[in-house]
């Protein structure tokens, strides 16, 4: 029996997610409520890159949706405690957990790809062409037109990447407290982004709270959700070499290439999707095939 199987889930993880959920609920209930239901409904707030969006919150005329969303999103955050306990610290990985993670990874991968292809206006106020989407139409800019699908994008991505990372740790009897904590922080951070609409392509002013919170959430999500996988691959690659080491090199190289593309080509949902799709493919291969258990040399 592995060390993971012998010990209970540290209470610190439950405390961490409890604090995150409480802070999020207070933030949404006392600080974001008037901003979302009043400020974001003004014509000035709904005008981004010269285009007037009819409903960037998805709640104009339906304010009752706000408390529902706060409750539902807070519950989805609390469920991360269950994911850690039932996956990473389970006595055994049963079929339910296996199928839950596999279906989640497949659905998550398909969702982010399809979402990145949704229509959004370009700088001329017309439906963006494929070229525009490739160059500068980001996931959050798409969210200005499809706010509820954007919220779903964030929740589904956080849930499926995190649960499959925990499944990977459990399957290979690996545990990293740093990895779990970083993955938790990253998963929670995307909730900042999906609750603060994009400032668009032409109006990036980080002195504006809406802009700084939106970007901070997105960057923390990207870095902290990739970190647990990098930690795992580095550990296994250092010890076993072979395909784990190859996966580590390729995954890190891909992140570097993505960063270069963002600087040279521009940020867009399609470019943003590259590391996410790569992460899903890597997790599916790690979790549900024996590819990485073959062709490795022991330490």
Residues in contact with 262: Cβ distance below 8 Å, sequence separation at least 6, in sequence order:
271
In sequence order, the β-bridge partners of residue 51 are: 48
Cα–Cα distance list, 195 to 18, 66, 105, 153, 158 (Å): 19, 11, 24, 12, 14
**What is the full per-residue pLDDT of the chain (299 aa) written as tens digits?**
444 545 689 999 999 999 999 999 999 999 999 999 999 999 988 888 888 899 999 999 999 999 999 999 999 999 999 999 999 998 888 899 999 999 999 999 999 999 988 888 877 777 777 777 777 788 888 999 999 999 999 999 999 999 999 999 999 999 999 999 999 999 999 999 999 988 765 556 677 788 889 889 988 998 999 999 999 999 988 887 788 888 888 888 888 887 776 666 556 677 778 889 999 999 999 999 988 876 554 44
* Dist. CA 70–CA 84, nearest whole Å: 23
Q: Where are the alpha helices (DSSP H) in 172-268?
A: 177-195, 209-240, 242-264
């Amino acid at each position: 029996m592995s060390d993971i199987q012998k010990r209970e889930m540290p209470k610190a993880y439950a405390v961490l997610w409890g604090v995150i959920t409480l802070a999020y609920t207070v933030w949404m209930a006392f600080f974001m409520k008037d901003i979302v239901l009043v400020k974001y409904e003004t014509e000035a707030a709904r005008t981004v890159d010269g285009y007037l969006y009819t409903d960037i919150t998805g709640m104009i005329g339906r304010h009752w949706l706000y408390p529902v969303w706060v409750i539902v999103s807070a519950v989805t955050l609390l469920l991360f405690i269950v994911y850690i306990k039932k996956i990473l610290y389970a006595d055994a990985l049963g079929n339910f957990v296996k199928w839950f993670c596999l279906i989640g990874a497949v659905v998550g991968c398909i969702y982010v790809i399809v979402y990145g292809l949704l229509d959004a206006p370009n700088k001329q106020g017309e439906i963006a062409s494929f070229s525009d989407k490739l160059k500068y139409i980001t996931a959050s800019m798409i969210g200005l037109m499809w706010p509820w699908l954007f919220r779903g994008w964030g929740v589904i991505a956080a849930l499926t990447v995190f649960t499959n990372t925990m499944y990977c740790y459990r399957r290979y009897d690996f545990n990293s407290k740093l990895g779990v904590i970083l993955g938790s922080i990253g998963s929670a951070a995307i909730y900042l982004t999906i609750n603060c609409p994009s400032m668009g392509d032409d109006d990036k002013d980080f002195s504006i709270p809406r802009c700084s919170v939106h970007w901070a959430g997105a960057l923390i999500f990207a870095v902290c959700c990739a970190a647990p996988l990098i930690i795992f691959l580095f550990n296994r690659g250092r010890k076993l070499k072979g395909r784990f080491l190859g996966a580590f090199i390729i995954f890190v190289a891909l992140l570097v290439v993505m960063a270069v593309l963002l600087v040279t080509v521009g940020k867009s949902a399609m470019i943003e999707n590259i590391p996410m799709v790569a992460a899903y493919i890597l997790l599916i291969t790690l979790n549900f095939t024996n590819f990485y258990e073959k062709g490795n040399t022991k330490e």
